[in-house]
Amino acid sequence: MPEQTLPQFLVRNAREFPQDPALREKDRGIWQQWTWAEYLAHVRSIALGLVSLGFERGDKLGSWSSSSTTRMRPSCMPRTRSRWTSSSISETSCPRSGR
């Protein structure tokens, strides 16, 4: 297989294995699962949100969190038009979406 970027890998897996599990995590002791198709839709949603905030190709974004999918949900992203905003997001500041 030729080398791929992470976005290329994600798109390929979403196309070839749309209903297969991509991510699994426990939420309150119950395993939650995201398929490759759901994961790609989620990543696209975040990318479009960043574009709507003014991010452009080549801009940098830092993210620091635990290994939980909760922190990268669009509902937990800071809502601001400023490019140089620092924010802290905790588990308790994000609404539960059932995932």
Among candidate residues 24, 22, 6, the one with its CA nearest the CA of residue 14: 22
The pTM of the whole model exceeds 0.75: no
CA distance 39 to 47: 12
The pLDDT tens digits for 52-96 are 999 998 888 887 766 665 555 544 444 444 444 444 444 444 444
